[in-house]
Structure 1
Amino acid sequence: MNNQLLYMMLVAYLGLTVFLGYLGFRHTKSAKDYMIAGGNVHPVLMALAYGATFISTSAIVGFGGVAAVYGMSLLWLTACNILVGIFVAFVFYGVKTRKLAHELQVKTFPEFLGARFDSPFIRKFSASVISLAMPLYAAAVMIGGARYMEEALQMNYGTAVVIFALIVFAYVFFGGLRGVIYTDAMQAIIMLVGMIALLFLTYTELGGVVAAHEKLSALKNLVPSALAAKGHQGWTAMPVIGSELWWFVTSTLILGVGVGVLAQPQLAVRFMTVASSKDIYKGLGIGALFILFIPGVAYTVGALSNVYFIEHAGQLALAATAAGGGAANVDKIIPLFITQAMPEWLKYLFLFTLLSAAMSTLSGQFHIISTSVSYDLNPRNRGNDKKALLLARLGTLFGFGVTILLAFQLPLGVIAIATALFFGMCTAAFLPMYTAALYWPKVTPKGAICSMIAASVVYLLIVLLVHEKEAAVFGLCLKLFGVSTLATAPWTYIDPLIIALPISSVVLVGVSAVTQPVQQTAIENSR
């Protein structure tokens, strides 16, 4: 290791992070500053912060490792991220969210939903869901960054978790959303440079773009028999339609994460930070390019890493992580590839790329947990600005503590599963209600409440008792019934979102239809 180079880069990175966090602290004078950065953020900063919060180590390390196992079919997730996560999110959700949030004078996503439906219950229930589920996603992000530090710096995993968690905690605690957005923009630029360099050097190492993809296609005959039985057809082809792997890729990864982004509270609040709808349109192109280069590169490099490990170690990427007698771990594929295949300067640049990806997402997660716990679950403090600001900062402690605990308790290879789980839960519980809040005037508070509760209960039951991947991780079904899942194929691998989202939508429409106000119905009948 070139310690001098590493320390120089570390000092520069931490220096910029501290400076930008200090700027956020200097400009954070009120609860509005802390929660929505004053509502006057530049559109470029908003777009970069949105992208950096959207894409984390879960995408780079977790889903990059998944791409090494399942192949380039994950590039459809990148396409879905750009189409839905950027274009649809900005144009059809972002503009209306900013406008309505400004009219309602709200500062958080739960407060937005509660004010739109004039329902304190909706506000508190959605804040509770966020407070309890967000730490799972945050832990997945933290694990991704810590695993790379563990591999690249030969550092103890626990030490790695604590180090950068403390850094993120410091600038979120003091700087609020202003500090988060300032540092996110810097980290987004680092991520772009690091991922572009990684893509270029990967193709160089494997003999060029065409040669690399031809080599990857030629590995088709090396697909492990267990994966082939589940529908794997090689790393440059989609799994067999209707197979277990096809359902996992399409329903859990592409649909769950690609569409689930629309209902992410930490992203929706970004639209509240700009001064006008025009600013959201201005950030559209920057957001799309960012998504193209970050997850797009991660999934491509993840799949291509198999070529490198076959040529240099005689085994596929996943098997290479078990070298030396350890357990195979999909979350260590990308870190192992970087440390073995890339020049030393890129190892360090990629270290800061991953730290940036982790910190930018974690900061948004800690911020939304903080405001949910301290502001939305304690709405009595709304009139006391200083107290609200203090409690928002203290609420960060809750998210920090729970996330650290989960980062040490979750099993190996959990990053992609935990990410998809949180995205799916938010999509089922919030997306129908959120969409109706923006576009359907006839939706009623009772319809929104029943939809949110039904979706949450159904999704949770399927995760704990039916869907095999998560049911096996939590182990509740095994303890209660003596089996890992109560269902049989294909329900054991069809994502819970496929069931919970339609139920949530039907309940929303049905209950709203039968609970229309008498006055409104009478007026409509007279027309």
Structure 2
Amino acid sequence: MATSPTLYVVDYVVIAATLSVPLGMGVYLAVKGRKRNTKEEYLLGGRKLHVIPVTLSLFVTFMSSTSLIGMPAETFTTGITFVLHVIGVSLSYVIGIFTIVPIMHSLQVTSMYEYFRLRFQSPFLWLLVTVVGMFQKIVFTAVVLLSPALSIQTATGLPFWVSVVIVGLVGIVYTSMGGIRGVVLVDVFQAAIIMLGIFFVLVKGVHEVGGLDTTWTLAKEGGRIPPVDFDPDPRVRHSFWALTLGGLFTFFGYTFDQSAIQRICAIPKMSGAKTVYALNIFIVSTYIICVCFMGIVAYSYFATIGCDPFKAGILTNSNQLMPYFVMKIFEDFPGMSGIYLGTIFSGALSTISSITNGLAANTIEDILKRPFEKCETSDSVKLLTAKLAVWFYGGVCIGLAFLLKDLPGTIIQTALALMGACGGPIVGTYFLGALFPWTNKIGAIVGVLVALALNIWLTVGATLYGHPPVKLPPSPWKLM
């Protein structure tokens, strides 16, 4: 019977460094930029951010800890078919280059929801999409906070609440201090950590199994390389159409998102903003393929040692798979498990910081815009409000994470369902206004409300009556 691995002191040092560096960057930028500390500088970096840092920042904002844990769990449980999701993701960026970027960058907005105010001239619609969008981001951030918490709990036995509070507070502190420049700078560091962690896991995992050929052969024998299912039934979650078309429309919720719009509007030229989206096609596609393959490597590894962790009773939740797998293959290499856990922390921190900064922008530009205008509020008060908003929304997300800790299924399933259900109506209304000039606010409001009701019905119906993906047999069992 396999035993649970443990962390070394050097692993804790690596984890502590992963959490400390962002704090240091936040303090550095807060001190360095104190003389040009304005609302526009805090939320948009003075609209002078550079392409490469913004590209990496956009990448790690959405490819968070949920994907690092959830995608390998999906492929471990149901097979490599989930990787087809990359087709839809790539197409969403391609379409965004020719539709979202030109319009939003030319408007030079701070909040994406300002578009709806300018296009439809309806305060009610503006408030409606703002509330729906902000609610979506808050819940999504709470889900993201679960990933590192589960990882630490699985790896070290540290109480769940300690993990959530530590990761949440670190993200809140450096975001409130450094603003969007701090978020982007830290994201570059976290992108490097994520790429390094994935590389080490894949190389060591494949080596432990016995090479790429052996890894693929074992996965194929275990049914992890199934044929593509072209069933048009929308209730089949892992069909070709669900993964590609569903992935396309779901990921529109990311490409047309506050964090994305905030970044492309912080780029001085439109050509640079388009480059950010174009580069993310290749970066995100490579990332998804590698992360999905990690689940295949994990299956082949457990098939090799003859001990499925779920059948053995070591793990009870699929979200615990990757932390346990990584600690097993690196149990004789002090520090390596810490790098991977630091990878998960980096993914979580990047999402938390980006979204809370975006929520602060929504608060200033959408929720409080009219009261500020009536009171002729100074820029310094708006800046202080934005910083306090980061703390407020961060605290709400931390509290909500405790309510969501017992979610069934994989984290990635929950995250994608949420983005599709709430993000779809917002994206649809954007394209309605952009592509059909004769539409008015009445049609847009009715469209949002009907789409929300329909999406909620579909999401609940899929949960209760849908065809869940068939879980494949566990890895071969051996008497150890």
Give your verdict on TM over 0.5: yes
TM range (shorter): 0.7 to 0.9
TM-score (norm. length: structure 2): 0.85
**Structure-2 residue corresponding to 1:505:** none
**Structure-2 residue corresponding to 1:89:** 96
**Structure-2 residue corresponding to 1:504:** none
Selected match of 2:324 from 336, 358, 366 = 336
Instruction: Please state how far the C-alpha of 1:115 moved relative to its aligned partner.
Output: 2.1
2: distance between equivalents of 1:446 and 1:418? 32
1: distance between equivalents of 2:208 and 2:199? 14
3-state SS in 2 of match to 1:107: coil
CA contact (8 A) 1:370 1:392 kept: yes
3-state SS in 1 of match to 2:118: helix
Instruction: Please state how far the C-alpha of 1:53 moved relative to its aligned partner.
Output: 0.5
Q: How does 1:47-126 map to 2 (within 5 A)?
A: 47-84=55-92, 86-99=93-106, 101-102=107-108, 106-126=109-129
**Structure-1 residue corresponding to 2:3:** none
Unaligned runs of 5+ in 2: 1-5, 470-480
**Structure-2 residue corresponding to 1:162:** 165
3-state SS in 1 of match to 2:222: helix
**Structure-2 residue corresponding to 1:132:** 135
3-state SS in 2 of match to 1:467: helix
Instruction: Please state how far the C-alpha of 1:285 moved relative to its aligned partner.
Output: 5.1
**Structure-2 residue corresponding to 1:305:** 298
**Structure-2 residue corresponding to 1:458:** 454
Structure 1 range deviating more: 352-361 or 288-297:
288-297
**Structure-1 residue corresponding to 2:473:** none
1: distance between equivalents of 2:262 and 2:240? 28
2: distance between equivalents of 1:112 and 1:307? 49
Q: Find out whether 1:431 has 2:432 as its counterpart.
A: no
CA contact (8 A) 1:260 1:426 kept: no
Q: Find out whether 1:351 has 2:341 as its counterpart.
A: yes
CA contact (8 A) 1:49 1:181 kept: yes
**Structure-1 residue corresponding to 2:50:** 42
Q: Output one character per residue of 1:64-100: Cα deviation in whole Å (capped at 9) or x when no partner.
A: 211211111111112322332x33333432233211x
Q: How does 1:239-254 map to 2 (within 5 A)?
A: 239=229, 241=231, 246-248=236-238, 254=244
3-state SS in 1 of match to 2:237: helix
Unaligned runs of 5+ in 1: 221-233, 469-484, 494-527
CA contact (8 A) 2:58 2:260 kept: yes
**Structure-2 residue corresponding to 1:482:** none
Greater RCO between the two (CA within 8 Å, min separation 6)? 2
Structure 1 range deviating more: 387-396 or 166-175:
387-396
Instruction: Please state how far the C-alpha of 1:239 moved relative to its aligned partner.
Output: 4.5
User: Root-mean-square deviation (CA), in Å?
Assistant: 2.6
2: distance between equivalents of 1:130 and 1:170? 23
2: distance between equivalents of 1:182 and 1:146? 24
**Structure-2 residue corresponding to 1:291:** 284
Q: Output one character per residue of 1:104-143: Cα deviation in whole Å (capped at 9) or x when no partner.
A: xx21111232223222222211121123222221121111
**Structure-2 residue corresponding to 1:444:** 440
CA contact (8 A) 1:54 1:267 kept: no
3-state SS in 2 of match to 1:338: helix
CA contact (8 A) 1:191 1:294 kept: no
1: distance between equivalents of 2:45 and 2:421? 27
3-state SS in 2 of match to 1:441: coil
CA contact (8 A) 2:70 2:319 kept: yes
CA contact (8 A) 1:240 1:246 kept: no
2: distance between equivalents of 1:11 and 1:150? 16
1: distance between equivalents of 2:442 and 2:22? 45
1: distance between equivalents of 2:135 and 2:423? 15
Instruction: Please state how far the C-alpha of 1:250 moved relative to its aligned partner.
Output: 5.1
Q: Output one character per residue of 1:259-283: Cα deviation in whole Å (capped at 9) or x when no partner.
A: 3222332223221111111112333
Instruction: Please state how far the C-alpha of 1:244 moved relative to its aligned partner.
Output: 8.3
Instruction: Please state how far the C-alpha of 1:13 moved relative to its aligned partner.
Output: 3.1
**Structure-1 residue corresponding to 2:199:** 196
